[in-house]
Amino acid sequence: MRPDPPDLPARLEPAGTLDAGGLQEATLSDAHLDGLQAPGVKIDACVLDGVVLAGARLSGAGLRDSELRGCDLANADLRGVRARRVRIAGGRLTGVLLSEADLGDVAFENCRADLAAFAGAKLERVRLAGCDLRGCDWQWARLSGVVFDACDLTGADFSETRFESVELIGCRLQGIRGATGLRGVSMRWDDVLANACVFAAACGVKVTDA
pLDDT in tens, 19-50: 999 999 999 999 999 999 999 999 999 999 99
Q: Smallest Cα–Cα separation from 14: which of 32, 27, 29, 1?
A: 27
In a domain, 30, yes or no: yes
Alpha-carbon distance 55 to 135, whole Å? 19
Question: Cα–Cα distance between 102 and 122 in angstroms, integer?
Answer: 5
Domain assignment present for residue 115? The answer is yes
Summarised one tens digit per residue, pLDDT across range 69-80 is 999 999 999 999
Decide if 10 contacts 29 (C-beta within 8 A).
Answer: no
Query: What does the alpha-carbon distance between residue 74 and residue 38 come to, in Å, rounded to a whole number?
Result: 16
- Count of beta carbons in the 10 Å neighbourhood of residue 204: 7
pLDDT for 199 equals: 72
Reference 62, options 33, 40, 35; nearest CA is 40
CB burial readout 55-76, b (16+ within 10 A) else e: bbbbbbbbbbbbbbbbbbbbbb
How far apart (Å, rounded) are the C-alpha atoms in residues 14 and 145? 35
The residue type found at 183 is: R
Three-class secondary structure of residue 160 per DSSP? coil
Q: Give the mean pLDDT of the chain.
A: 94
pLDDT bracket for residue 195 (50, 70, 90): confident
Helices (H), the chain: 189-194, 196-202
Identify the three-state secondary structure at position 189: helix
Q: Is residue 49 part of a domain?
A: yes
Residue 158: which domain range?
13-202
Domain with residue 182: its CATH number is 2.160.20.80
Alpha helices in 102-207 (DSSP H): 189-194, 196-202
Residue 3 lies in a domain: no
The predicted pLDDT at position 179 comes to: 82
Domain contains 23: yes
* Mean pLDDT, range 173-181, rounded to an integer: 87
- Inside any domain, residue 209: no
Alpha-carbon gap, residue 162 to 36, rounded angstroms: 33
Residue 18 in any domain: the answer is yes
C-alpha span between 210 and 194 (Å, rounded) = 19
| Residue 2 belongs to some domain of the structure | no
- Number of domains comprising the chain: 1
